[in-house]
Amino acid sequence: MVSADSTSTTHSIGFRISSGILIPHERSLKPLKKGNIKSFELSYSLIKYDSKAWRSFYNHPEVGVSYMFMDLGYQEVLGYSHSIYPYIEFPIIKHNRSLALGFKVALGLSYFTKMYDSISNRSNIAISTPINMYASLGLNLSYRFADKVSANVGVNASHFSNSSIKKPNYGLNIPLLNIGFNYNFNSNARTFSKTRDFDTEKTEWLIIITGGVKETKDPGGSKYGIGSFSVEYSKPFKTFLRYGASFDYMYDGSTFVHFREDSVPYHSRFKASKAGISLLGEMSLYRLSAFGNLGIYIYNYDKQLSAIYQKVGLRYRITESIHTQIALKTHLNVADYFEFGVGLRL
């Protein structure tokens, strides 16, 4: 049934400055830690109030897009970065519409002005491609001191990486402290048609097929294909939160490079296969959802990898039965590769 109702949308523009330091997660990255890292950010956002079940469930989150310029503290080697990313901020605490604490998640792309070069910039082992993924998690405390103006302070952890599309790819981990201001435009009412949310309250079986490409070992080396097949079972925890388990079969063509280095004999290309079981969690935002897996290998001949693997990613549900997804696979703090795929709900 379609019903007419009123809704309101608050639009905002914001400006923020940040300062932080590089956190070397590998010993070889310590020489890249020089001066303080500084950035400024411009953003546009909106908060929509309507009858969508997921917005009400998450207390009407703020959704926006930002541009960020960052001085990475070592201009000769790391240069500068320009990032564009969408984000969503979930309210944790709201007090009298003036004070609010929110949890912010961002995922986008960054352009770097300096990258690894075997002749002119051998020191930059963190970044080897001009385009990289940008991801961040943060907490923001805001205070509205005027009808349309609010101030905010916060902390966030940022990560840059190309996920082994090209080596070297140690990536950059940067915690930032920030302060900023937002200008809030007047809310405006309009009518809408009430729509049905996807069914999120039943158990699910999913079949997921993904593929990708990665580079391993020395920079400029060969590219190797990767792929996976997963069977996933999940149950609702709350209306838009799910938990479950997955069986994962993975094939990684770069495994043979590790076999040759470790003098591991193999008589079949099947030895590049891996199998694992993982626990999973998923948070749904209507068609879009975020998910994470924590798994352990039950079959793996590649001894250069840890026994534990993780996946974090996004899914977009095209229909109630079919979705697309993108995910980053990692081993502890080391990014392995990006994978892209489709899923079928049984």
The total number of structural domains that make up the chain: 2
321 occurs within a structural domain: yes
Q: Are residues 162 and 263 in the same domain?
A: no
143 occurs within a structural domain: yes
Mean of the per-residue pLDDT values of the chain: 89
Does 3 have pLDDT greater than 90?
no
Four-CA torsion 254, 260, 265, 267, nearest 10 degrees: 50
Q: Are residues 183 and 231 in the same domain?
A: no
252 occurs within a structural domain: yes
Q: Are residues 21 and 162 in the same domain?
A: yes
Write out pLDDT tens, residues 52-95: 888 888 888 999 999 999 999 999 999 999 999 999 999 998 88
198 occurs within a structural domain: no
Q: Are residues 213 and 187 in the same domain?
A: no
Q: Are residues 149 and 285 in the same domain?
A: no
Q: 3-class secondary structure for the chain?
A: CCCEEEEEEEEEEEEEEEEECCCCCCHHHHHHCCCCEEEEEEEEEEEEECCCHHHHHCCCCEEEEEEEEEECCCCCCCCEEEEEEEEEEEEEEEECCCEEEEEEEEEEEEEECCCCECCCECCCCCCCCCEEEEEEEEEEEEEECCCCEEEEEEEEEEEEECCCCCCCCCCEEEEEEEEEEEEECCCEEEEEECCCCCCCCCCEEEEEEEEEEEECCCCCCCEEEEEEEEEEEEEEEECCEEEEEEEEEEEECCHHHHHHHHCCCCCCHHHHEEEEEEEEEEEEECCEEEEEEEEEEEEECCCCCCCEEEEEEEEEECCCCEEEEEEEEEECCEEEEEEEEEEEEC
Q: Are residues 24 and 167 in the same domain?
A: yes
Q: Are residues 172 and 228 in the same domain?
A: no
Q: Are residues 66 and 177 in the same domain?
A: yes
pTM: 0.83
Does 213 have pLDDT greater than 50?
yes
Does 196 have pLDDT greater than 80?
no
The pLDDT of residue 4 is: 47
149 occurs within a structural domain: yes
Write out pLDDT tens, residues 4-20: 456 788 899 999 999 99
Q: Are residues 228 and 140 in the same domain?
A: no
Q: What CATH code is carried by the domain that includes residue 97? A: 2.40.160.20
Q: Are residues 218 and 183 in the same domain?
A: no
C-beta of residue 116 within 8 angstroms of C-beta of residue 132: no
- pLDDT band, residue 39 (cuts 50/70/90): very high
Domain of 70, in residue numbers: 4-191
Taking alpha carbons only, the member of 312, 325, 342, 337 closest to residue 135 is 312
Q: Among 191, 214, 249, identify where a domain stops.
A: 191
Write out pLDDT tens, residues 86-135: 999 999 988 877 899 999 999 999 999 999 998 999 999 999 999 999 99
Q: Are residues 162 and 222 in the same domain?
A: no
196 occurs within a structural domain: no
Q: Among 150, 170, 191, identify where a domain stops.
A: 191
197 occurs within a structural domain: no
Q: Are residues 208 and 299 in the same domain?
A: yes
